[in-house]
Amino acid sequence: MVQLEISIGGLRLKNPVMTASGTFGHGTEFAELYDINRLGAVVTKTITPLPRAGNPPPRMAETPSGMLNAVGLQNGGLEEFLKNKAPFLRRLKTAVVVSISAGGPAEFADMALAVETSGCADALELNLSCPNVLHGAVKNMISQDCGAIEAVVSAVRKKCGLAAIAKLSPNVTDITKTALAAQNAGADAVCLINTLPAMSVDLKTRKPRLANITGGLSGPAIKPVALKLVWDAVRALDIPVIACGGITTAEDALEFILCGATAVEVGTANLTNPFAAPEILSGMERWLRENKIASLDELRGKLIA
């Protein structure tokens, strides 16, 4: 038996394989395919206080070893979530991380409290970094502004006792600054990275491939970027870093652990292979056994550099 347990704040996860928000729905579709309770945690699609229709089509364009999406946080809103999604999540026998987004600190805190009260979540992921939704007057992502990060995280912290993960954007000058802002405001972990703002253009029609013109790049193409940012953040922070970005195989996941990540989130890989997450988990177990490593702690942060 290899030791895969990890903890985030007060929360224990049986293994470090989580799903990335927006690539796993609320778990119901995948539950038809395999026992999703095997995963360390299920992270749900970001919900917002009110329903959002999302962006018009086309919302997706494939790029070399990756894809762009401009879904625009289509979701049924908090009320619909509590009514239709929460009951399923409450029955899960693994940790549930509910991803939330809102217009500002007070709204974030109200959402956090409502989700906590519903009893369906073991932790929250604060989506501060959706490239398809900009916040207010600054026309920026919250996670591009250290002051805004601190305001949101501390507002949530004050109102809600659940472990809080701050999900950050790669699109900043210095990831350690935004990650430290989250840590200082009381985040229990950071998740790196959300998608990279990007574009795809069709020369023949002279049009952008997305109706929204810009979107977020994900998939294997962004893994090297994510590795570097995780490596930077791990050395600056005391709280756990959850790695996300292009993780498709067990080896990918282990590379992030080697760079110091505490856990991993599987995103786009769920869309190309619906069994990606459990396959990554069993692949990690196999690799550790074969390399006679009894615990992930023996590997974590042991990059020879």
Q: Rounded to an integer, what distance in angstroms lies between the CA atom of residue 158 and that of residue 164? A: 11
Closest CB to another protein among residues 25, 103? 25
Binders of ligand FMN among 1-60, rule CB under 6 A?
20-23, 45-46
Q: Is 130 a catalytic residue?
A: yes
**What character string, x for contact with ligand FMN (CB under 6 A) and - otherwise, covers 151-190?**
----------------x-----------------------
Nearer to ligand FMN (CB atom), residue 37 or residue 63: 63
The closest of 157, 72, 168, 167 to 108, measured between CA atoms, is 157
Site track for another protein across 275-294, x = CB under 8 A: x-------------------
- What mask of x and - would describe binding to another protein in positions 18 to 37, judged by CB under 8 A? ----xxxx---xx-xx----
- Tokens, residue 72: 């625009």
53 binds, among another protein, ligand FMN, none (CB under 5 to 8 A by kind): another protein
Query: Helices 105-118 and 146-159, interaxial angle, to 10°?
Result: 30
* Residue of the chain from 15, 48, 55, 99 that contacts ligand FMN (CB under 6 A): 99
**Can you say whether residue 23 is alpha, beta or left, with left for phi > 0 and alpha for psi between -120 and 50 degrees?**
alpha
Taking each helix axis as running N to C, give the angle between helix 276-290 and helix 250-258, from 0 to 180 degrees, rounded to the nearest 10: 60
CA distance 82 to 36: 20
Of the pair 136, 224, the CB lying nearest ligand FMN is at: 224
Q: Which of 27, 40, 215, 267 binds ligand FMN (CB under 6 A)?
A: 267
172, 229 contact by CB (below 8 A) = no
Q: Can the peptide bond before residue 58 be classed as cis, meaning omega within 30 degrees of 0?
A: yes
Beta strands in the chain (DSSP E): 6-8, 11-13, 17-19, 41-43, 60-63, 66-69, 95-100, 123-127, 163-167, 189-192, 196-199, 201-202, 207-208, 214-218, 241-244, 263-266
Catalytic, out of 120, 130, 160, 244: 130
Tell me which of 2, 11, 60, 236 binds another protein, using CB under 8 A: 60
Instruction: Name the binder of 270 from ligand FMN, another protein, none, CB < 5-8 A by kind.
Output: another protein
Minimum Å gap between C-beta 36 and another protein is 12
Pick from 218, 262, 279, 281: which binds ligand FMN (CB under 6 A)? 218
| Active-site amino acid positions | 130
Residues in touch with another protein (CB under 8 A): 22-25, 29-30, 32-33, 45, 53-54, 56-62, 64-67, 69, 71, 74, 219-220, 268, 270-275
